[in-house]
Each structure stands twice: as C-alpha cells, then as structure tokens.
Amino acid sequence: METQTKARLQTLPLQEIAIGTSNPRKVFDSEALKELTQSIHEKGILQPLLVRPHDGGFQLVCGERRLRAATLAKLSEVPVQVQELTDEEVLEVQLIENLEREDVHPLQEAETLQRMLDTEKYTVSDLASKLAKSETFVIQRLSLNGLIKAWKDAFLKDHINLGKALIVARLTKAGQKELAENAMDHVGGIKSKAALERFIDRQISRKLEQAPFDVCNEALVKKAGPCTTCNKRSGANERLFPDIEADDQCFDKACYELKVQAHLMKRAKEIVNGAEPVHFIYSPYAEELPNGLVKLLEKHNIKLLEQYEDFELHGNDDQAKEGLWLNGSGKGHPEKIYLPKRSKGKMQELPPKERIARIEQRAERALELDAEKVQKRIIESLAETEELHELGKLPIQPVDTLLQRLWLWNTAPWEVQETLGKTFKWSSGVSNKTMLQRLERMTEAQVAHLVRLTVFAKWRHSLPTFIEGMALRSLAEGIPSVPIADIEKEQRQVARKRIKRTKERIEKLKEQC
C-alpha cells in the first residue's frame, strides 16, 4: 500500500494517543493482556505502535493491545511510528494487521474479510493471495458472518469449534434456529460434529434427486429461481461444501418445501382441468393437507383417498391405478395404488361386521405405526448420542450382557440353536420377549456352551495358521479327552517315514546326475 509520507520514529506520552473506532479487534483476552503487561514491565515495548496525526493530536492505527498493556504497566510514554494515512488507508492497514495475527478468532477474521470486500477494492482471490490461503478458506471464513447470534455466541464461548461452526453456517437462518433447538446432548453440551451432520441430513437438508418437481424450472417459484444455480445447493457452491461429495443437496428446507407445495398445486390443477384419471391420495399419519389444495379439490367435488381405508400400495398390476401423494414423504410424487373390489372403497356400503373388522384392523395398524415411529426416534437419538459412539463415556450395564448373548444366539447356526434348545429344554415358537428373558437368565456355563458350539460350527474348517484355527486349538487343549499329544505323535511318525522316503529318492536322483 502506498502512503503519503514515510513513517518517522519517536516517543509519545500515552495521553496524547487517541483510540479510533475503526479497529476490527473488539475483544481482548484478559489473561493474555496480563502476560503482555508483565512482559512490557520487564522489557518495555519491543515493537512501536503505529499512529497518525489527527485533529491536532495523534490517533492509534495499530497496537491497541500494546497500548492497553502499557497503561496497565503504568508507562508514561511509548515508542511509535508516525505516518500520514487517510481514513481508507487506516482501515486497510488495520484489517490486514488483524488478519495476520495468530490469535485472531475465526469470527473476527470473517468480519474483517467482509469489511475488506465491502471496500470494493478486493476480490475473494485478492484476499486469498494476501493471506497465502486458498479461496475455499476465504469463502468458508466469510460464511461465518451468516451465523445467527445464538451460534456466534456459542462459538465465541468455545461451546462449538470451527468445524461445527462451518457446518451450521451453511444453513439458512431458519435452519440454524431449528438446529439450535435440537443441538443439545443429554448432558447439556453441543452434540458432536457427526451428530449435527446426521441431524442436518435427516431433518434440514434435502436431496434434489428425490424432489418431485423439476429442479431446472425457473418459474415454479420465481423469487427462488432454479435449484441448479442456487448457492444453497452443494454442487453450485463447492468451495463452501468441499466435504460433501453429492452435488444435489439443498440446504434451504423452507425454499424446498415451498417448491414442493407449488408443484403439488400446479399438478393438481393439471389433473383437475385435464380430467386425468389420477386419484389424490394421503396418509392419515402424516402432516395435515395444504389448505389451498383441499379447497381446490372440494370445489370440484373430488374425493380424497385415505391410505389403508380407501386404497393399498400392493396388488395385481393389471388393477393398478395412478395416485398423487398429497402429504408424507412421497408428497408430490406419483404412486401406483390398488382400490378394493367392493364399491371402490366406499366403506359405508360394506356390511357392519366387515366395517367393524376394517376399523379394528386400521386401529391395530395405527398402534403398530405408533410403535414404529417411537422406535425410529429412539434409533435416531442413539445415532446422535456420543455415549454410544465414544469409548468410555457409557458405563457397563446389565443390558450389555443381554446384547452379547443375543448377538451370540443370532450368530449361531440353526442346527446349533436347535441342539441348544433341546439341551436347555427351551420350547420352540416363543415370543421375542420370552426369548430375551431366556437369554437374560442364561448361566455362565450355558453362555460358554453356546460360544463353544457356535465357534466350532463356524471355524471347524479353518487351517492351523488361521487365527480361528489357532483359537480352536486352544479350545481343544483345555479338553482332556481330546488326545492332542497322541494325535501329534502319530502324525510325527507318519512325517518321519515320509521324510525318509523323500531323502532316499533324492539320493538316487543325485547318483544319476
């Protein structure tokens, strides 16, 4: 950077140096400041402060931390470099000096980089060159400016690290808020980076290859434009998503859902206006139907078909009809459906007993779905918890013994299970709950018997040099009735005779040479 005049060295009284407001550094670590104060007290200021003439006095450009420490060390004056600088030049010097510090927080880096871009004198490429960093580094740092206050505070307080912050910064403000509401683990800390990524994959981001709408359509939602050029799509902004291999992930759930709704309404109008033979189908266990869509269909007296009540998803292909999902995971997608033979699914025309049976069947299925949803949420929670995935965070519990026994039982071949069932006098055809109770009550001798028979059945053909073969040899050595010594003695005798014959043949061949 060119300046108007060269700098001159001199000393100035502390009271003559005014602190400006443009310095990007706003936070000073108290412990580090104490250490610097002690160093200045012992050795003085080794690097002069940079000041400029301003309003009849001097204004600090660089070195505010040293100035604060000098004040705490009760110095009366400090060494300075005096240089004529414009306001624009002051800002540029401060920004670059701030970026070159080793202890700068990534959020301060992000703010500084943004201020440099805002001067319109730099491009991302220019900033990357000045920092000797990649453009990906600069873009990712700049993305941190998009963090909402809750996540910025968490980052500044070291509740999350840079890796987590960069993951969160990819999201829209709504996505960040949703993540913040679900980010705590069971002990009150922030979930691991992997757990946050799993939550984002399941609950926030969307795979565009599964979208029911045309991702290239510019007019579907005009203010959003096509997905193909959207910078909230992983493939359109590779430098912000360098760790994501798939190029079709959308990180703006609200926009995605808006396009699904627009597509659904557009498709419904096409079906209604064109009198297409397509049924409108929905699940009673998914979210409520879009109000505007319901009004459109009611206006045209179109019946909505309810899953399990009015149609099934399995049947003979020659009886298949086309349906369009109005809610659930398939919302906006077409689906093959199969209507009941009687009265095209109008339950009111069925005999009372059959109607009762269908109602009870539906109620039973609803309970099954409730249990499946509970299990799904439990599995999702297990997938996110650090105790399960990190060694030493979860103490040994009685269930660990049960898990080991169930795993062993499932590993055992069918013939071993049948043999053990007879040995343990277990009746067949019991419920899963009863089977778990049996495994819990197994004695150590029964568990050992299960292990031995299972590994023998699976490893009996292993060679002696294989680890499984070696383990079976150790098992045999602990069983007195297995005559290992006699077996080896017999084989040594066979080997000696074979070796003798081999030597004799070799000697005869040598005589012929």
Active site residues: 64
CA distances from 495 to 365, 415, 489 (A): 69, 37, 10
3-class DSSP assignment, residue 304: strand
320-323 long-range Cβ contacts below 8 angstroms, 24+ apart: 321/277, 321/279, 322/277, 322/278, 322/279, 323/278, 323/279, 323/280, 323/281
CA–CA dist 492, 499 (Å, integer): 10
Phi, psi of 445 (to 5 degrees): -65, -40
Q: Which residues have a Cβ under 8 Å from the Cβ of 483 and sit 6 or more positions away?
A: none
Strand partners, 423: none
Strand partners, 82: 8, 51
Residues recorded for the chain: 513
3-class DSSP assignment, residue 435: helix
Q: Which tokens hold the place of 367?
A: 């309970």
Task: Report the amino acid identity of residue 356.
Answer: I
Which of 8, 3, 4 lies closest to 50 in space, CA to CA?
A: 8
CA–CA dist 513, 508 (Å, integer): 9
HSE-CB at 462 with a 13 A cutoff on CA atoms is 16
Residue with tokens 């040293």: 66
CB atoms within 10 A of CB 479: 9
Q: Which tokens hold the place of 409?
A: 């039982």
CA–CA dist 139, 131 (Å, integer): 13
Q: Which tokens hold the place of 81?
A: 């470099």
CA distances from 370 to 112, 365, 375, 432 (A): 51, 9, 9, 19
Radius of gyration for the chain, computed over Cα atoms and rounded to the nearest angstrom: 37
